[in-house]
Structure 1
Amino acid sequence: MVEQSSAYGLWGLAIINSAIFILFALSFFKPRTGRDWRSFGAFSAFLVALFAEMYGFPLTIYLFSGWLQSRYPGVDWLSHDAGHLLEMMFGWRLNPHFGPFHVLSFFLIGGGFVLIATAWRVLYEAQRHNRLATGGPYASVRHPQYVGFILVMAGFLVQWPTLLTLAIFPVLVGMYVRLSFIEEREARKEFGEAYDRYAARVPAFFPHVARLFGSAGKRGAP
């Protein structure tokens, strides 16, 4: 691989990208309660940590530089492309932005943001009419917005894995699970047996795959 100059120390780009994605997520999520802001703040911290390594200082590559250089001597590990570690380590020698892991990350990130936005519209209408949200994504999982945030973070991890974001990711997943328990207790107080019936029918985070394909088949049938 042709050696390239260092692509780091670009703190302005780190700040700009963090701001863009945080504001983009904010436009979808629209936090209202203190709990919403805490969950969104944790997600924002993940993005800041990611872009700080992507454009500022490559801590992960620095710490593993000796092992990476000895194992993959043909790679310039100070180039921006080399930050796509999975493409580099699995031998993808073309533009990493078109590599399999990078393409997969687009689907995860895009799907996560779409899920957050779609779920918010359903939840907003339900709250406005003081009813339980059960339509749209809520027909498949009980916490689609948290699933959306997890998909976005997983997409960024696939695209640009770092030690710090890998450490933050399980902490955030645990936080979202804990918040979901709190929200369900509140929903049971407000909706009673209606929520119990809904919870018995719809899983919390992982949709029933067979049911999803069955619904798609019914929509496509004449």
Structure 2
Amino acid sequence: MHGDSAYGLWTLVLLNSAIFIFFAFSFTKPKTQMDWRSFGAFSVFIVALFTEMYGFPLTIYFLSGWLAETYPSIDFLSHENGHLLHTLLGFEGDPHFDPLHIVSNILIVLGFFLLASAWNVLHKAQQAHTLATTGWYARCRHPQYIAFILIMLGFLLQWPTLPTLVFFQILVVVYIQLAKREEKLALEEFGDLYHRYRETTPGWIPKLTMDQPTTTP
């Protein structure tokens, strides 16, 4: 793609968006209204990301004056130079193998792993009408939302854009609000059981040691 525009590739936008949204759907299998809200918010982020990656580089056009003045010899309409952090931080060589991209891939893989593990526990608990307190839910109360945040943060490291930076902040707030609403509903349904679980299990930063799972009387 050197020398030619790497954008306007809407087939790649649709294909990549569909693949990652399908992966997230297959791992989460949203059923409740709150499930669909969190999944839908994540899908918006993914579409915005790949639209800028292959469709229309809004961020590059917005910063084009400064980029052209600061980096006059770089063609930012090539795909490799679209990795803005790679250039801005002075990395050389293929951006797909720089430290940021490697960390990015690790975060994305960890995020999908956590998402699959957490949602499996959650839906089994929902089907049994019990409280999810095993697996990752024994380490923190909201692993499914942590997973979405890890995946989005991973994508931002390799391809930051103005829209996705804004969406990321909005979605973090959305996930926090959804978590608060879920906790309110859990308190109404499980009462003291959930209160004890909340007292011993952190919300967002997983604990290293595993306690005995909370069980229903």
For normalisation by structure 1, the TM-score amounts to 0.91
1:3-18 counterparts in 2 under 5 A?
Answer: 4-18=3-17
2:68 alignment counterpart: 69
1:199 alignment counterpart: 198
1:6-45 counterparts in 2 under 5 A?
Answer: 6-45=5-44
How large is the Cα RMSD of the aligned pairs?
Answer: 1.4
2:132 alignment counterpart: 133
Q: Deviations over 1:4-63 (max 9, x none)?
A: 211111011001111111011000011001221121111101111110000011010111
The 1-side partners of 2:5 and 2:92 are apart by 19
1:94 alignment counterpart: 93
Q: Tell whether 2:123 aligns with 1:124.
A: yes
Whether contact under 8 Å (1:142, 1:204) holds in the other structure is: yes
1:109-188 counterparts in 2 under 5 A?
Answer: 109-188=108-187
Q: Where in structure 1 do 4 or more consecutive aligned residues deviate above 6 Å? A: none
1:60 alignment counterpart: 59
**Deviation of residue 127 (structure 1)?**
2.1
Q: Tell whether 2:48 aligns with 1:49.
A: yes
The 2-side partners of 1:20 and 1:92 are apart by 29
Structure 2 residue identity aligned to 1:49: A
The 2-side partners of 1:3 and 1:24 are apart by 31
Q: Deviations over 1:106-142 (max 9, x none)?
A: 0111111111100011112222322211111111110
Whether contact under 8 Å (1:18, 1:47) holds in the other structure is: yes
Structure 1 residue identity aligned to 2:41: A
Q: Counterpart of 1:198 in 2: which secondary structure? A: helix
- Of 33-42 and 114-123, deviating more is 33-42
**Deviation of residue 80 (structure 1)?**
0.2
Q: Counterpart of 1:41 in 2: which secondary structure? A: helix
Whether contact under 8 Å (1:87, 1:100) holds in the other structure is: no
Q: Deviations over 1:160-214 (max 9, x none)?
A: 0000001111111101100101100111111111111111111111123xxx1x5
Structure 2 unmatched runs, 5+: 211-217
For normalisation by structure 2, the TM-score amounts to 0.93
The 2-side partners of 1:121 and 1:3 are apart by 44
Structure 2 residue identity aligned to 1:145: Q
Structure 2 residue identity aligned to 1:192: G
Percent identity reads: 57
Q: Counterpart of 1:79 in 2: which secondary structure? A: coil
Whether contact under 8 Å (1:116, 1:148) holds in the other structure is: yes
Q: Counterpart of 2:196 in 1: which secondary structure? A: helix
Structure 1 unmatched runs, 5+: 216-222
